[in-house]
Amino acid sequence: MPEPDFRAPRLFIDAPLREGERIALERHHSNYLGNVLRLAAGDNILVFNGRDGEWQARIEGRKRPDSVSIATPTRPQDRLPDIAYVFAPLKHARLDYMVQKAVEMGASRLQPVLTRHTQVARVNGARMRANVIEAAEQCGILSLAAVAEPVTLERYLGGREGERLLVFCDEMAERHDPLQALQQGLTAAKGIDVLIGPEGGFAEEERALLLRQPTTLRLSLGPRILRADTAGVAALALVQASRGDWKTPG
């Protein structure tokens, strides 16, 4: 298997990928390859679909790229760590940033939750999905994070599996070394849910509800109040470094 090529153009194509397969390109893919990247027939790109690994493909077409021919596999399909990013959605560009960074940090599921102080009542799931794909294309990621429909915090907590660890980031928590707290804290039989609240913080009744949840680790992110999108990156980095796939395989 050749070494990964993180400089080659990558394209997500939602179709089965097999050697010799010819796949017609959608209009936005054709425009991106031909007009944005200035690629033409005969040029090679990397393609992935989140299921069949990464493949080298050859662009075909006369006047513009209209299809790709799947050639050889470059990387086998991987699996993301079982880390769900649970967050109160923000507005427009900051939500885009939040989704992109969560994907880069290796979250396998994105779950918007609506709290008392959430600033946004409606979430564009299609836009979130597009940001997931764009981040994966740009960062060499093979597996796509799932995008869930928004639910209220109460409904989310009522439906989550109690065997999962809930890392509840709270500016009101007593300050301790967060990495040590994660390394020495509770263990979970299943995955990890990282919960980031809204800009205004959690309401007292929400905080009380969270503290009654099983297998919950209340975590401080330091002496400064972080914006919600910054807090998400910080928390995911801590979780990945202590319990995720940043650690040396052993």
Over range 3-26, report the average pLDDT: 91
What whole-number percentage of the chain has pLDDT above 90?
77
> Which residues on neighbouring strands pair with residue 55, listed in sequence order?
47, 73
pLDDT-derived band at 199 (thresholds 50, 70, 90) equals confident
pLDDT at 72 over 90: yes
- 66/92 Cα distance (integer angstroms): 32
Mean pLDDT of the chain: 92
Which stretch of DSSP H or E encloses residue 28? helix 27-31
Least confident piece of the model among 90-104, 171-185, 233-247: 171-185
pLDDT of residue 171: 86
Over range 62-71, report the average pLDDT: 93
Longest Cα–Cα distance of the chain, Å, equals: 64
Least confident piece of the model among 44-53, 164-173, 185-194: 185-194
pLDDT of residue 249: 65
> For the purposes of burial, counting CB atoms within 10 Å of the CB of 94, is it exposed (0-12), middle (13-18) or buried (19 or more)?
middle
- List pLDDT tens digits, range 73-111: 999 999 999 999 999 999 889 999 999 999 999 999 999
Q: Exposure string (b/e) for 27-60, b if CB count within 10 Å is 16 or more? A: eebbebbbeeeebeeebebbbbbbebbbbbbebb
Q: Give the chain's domains with CATH numbers.
A: 10-75 (2.40.240.20), 83-243 (3.40.1280.10)
pLDDT at 112 over 60: yes
CB within 8 Å of 49: residues ≥ 6 apart:
12, 13, 14, 15, 16, 17
- List pLDDT tens digits, range 129-164: 999 999 999 999 999 999 999 999 999 999 999 889
pLDDT at 250 over 80: no
